[in-house]
Amino acid sequence: MSYKAELVAVLGQPVAENPTGVMQEAAFAASGLNWRYLNLEVPPEQLANAVTGMRALGFKGFNLTIPHKVAVIPHLDALSMEAQLIGAVNTVRCENGRLIGENTDGKGFLRALRQDAGIDPAGKRVALLGAGGAARAIAAEMLLAGAAGLTVLNRGVERGQSMVEHLKQAASGDIGFIPWEGTFLVPSDADILVNATSVGLYPRGNAMPDISLAAAKQDLLVADVVFNPPVTALLKLARDRALPVLDGLSMLVYQGVIGFELWTGRQAPEVVMKSALRRALGVATA
């Protein structure tokens, strides 16, 4: 019998509130795998050293969260086609000693949109808040799935414009950027609003993106990638207006399912992962 556990982790700052390990370790146990998932706090100036440590310690792979999804790229050996298109990495797998960057964020969000919200983005107009790694992934997948239009809002003008120019080179569709100054009035033709920023993330769970839903259509889907707390201030506002919502837990589960399969080569126990995550965050299971 081997007492050596295989290791995976998440690198980020902050990571204390990240429940991915609960979901992944439940999946490992259900699959009979002696694997462990670690939450590792890594400041930006230590990212290169942390990746070197992953190599030296023989980690099977790792996740990246804020603020490392773009910054990690120079430290990897190769990128998947999706990661190259998106320009960000949230999952790394080790293959014969080489670190391969993948991106499962957008695929996780798309699956959540279709399966949990019952909406296909084809022909829809999307308003996207943020221009970080998660926003890039979601934007790319929405366009590849046939979204009719995508409007990106970001406080940092240079970062937002750069993201939009990158998308225009890789995908077709009506793609635009609006500098986020003051309160953003969600337009009446938007079908899907996605908060892909960290506003509302624990411990600032009462914070909300500076937006107004006054002109929103009655069936606007309001989605938030923030998963802790599961019901953010933005989602509460949307529910108060009787708008359909999609929480960040769905995206987190589905991108985790893809990550599990990339690391282990086995089919993920999806029901186990979803139940474990929702129990950990005090959300009733379906």
Q: Which residues of the chain are in CATH 3.40.50.720 domains?
A: 106-247
pLDDT tens-digit series, residues 181-240: 999 999 999 999 999 999 998 788 789 999 999 999 999 999 999 988 889 999 999 999
pLDDT of residue 285 exceeding 60, the answer is no
pLDDT tens-digit series, residues 32-70: 999 999 999 999 999 999 999 999 999 999 999 989 998
**pLDDT for 260:** 98
Q: Enter the CATH code of domain 6-104+250-280.
A: 3.40.50.10860
Where is 170: in which H helix or E strand? helix 157-170
138-166 b/e with 16+ CB inside 10 Å = b? bbbbbbbbebbbbbbbbeeeebbeebbeb
**pLDDT for 108:** 94
**pLDDT for 259:** 96
Torsion of CA 214, 251, 61, 135, to 10 degrees: -30
**Residues 12-29: what's their mean pLDDT?**
94
pLDDT of residue 172 exceeding 80, the answer is no
**Percent helix, percent strand, percent coil in the chain, to nearest 5:** 35, 20, 40
pLDDT tens-digit series, residues 241-270: 999 999 999 999 999 999 999 999 999 999
pLDDT tens-digit series, residues 110-138: 999 999 999 999 999 999 999 988 899 99
- Contact between 228 and 21 under an 8 Å Cβ cutoff? The reply is no
- Contact between 103 and 68 under an 8 Å Cβ cutoff? The reply is no
**pLDDT for 134:** 87
Tell me how far the alpha carbon of residue 104 is from its chain's centroid. 8
pLDDT tens-digit series, residues 81-112: 888 888 889 999 999 999 999 999 999 999 99
**Residues 143-157: what's their mean pLDDT?**
95
* Dihedrals phi, psi of 223, to nearest 5 degrees: -115, 145
pLDDT of residue 1 exceeding 80, the answer is no
Q: Enter the CATH code of domain 106-247.
A: 3.40.50.720
**Residues 9-24: what's their mean pLDDT?**
94
C-alpha distance from residue 84 to each of 33, 133, 136, 216, 257 (Å): 31, 12, 11, 34, 21
Structure confidence at residue 284 as a pLDDT band (50, 70, 90): low
Q: Catalytic amino acids?
A: 69
Q: How far apart are the first and last CA of the chain?
A: 37
pTM for this prediction: 0.85
Q: Which residues of the chain are in CATH 3.40.50.10860 domains?
A: 6-104+250-280
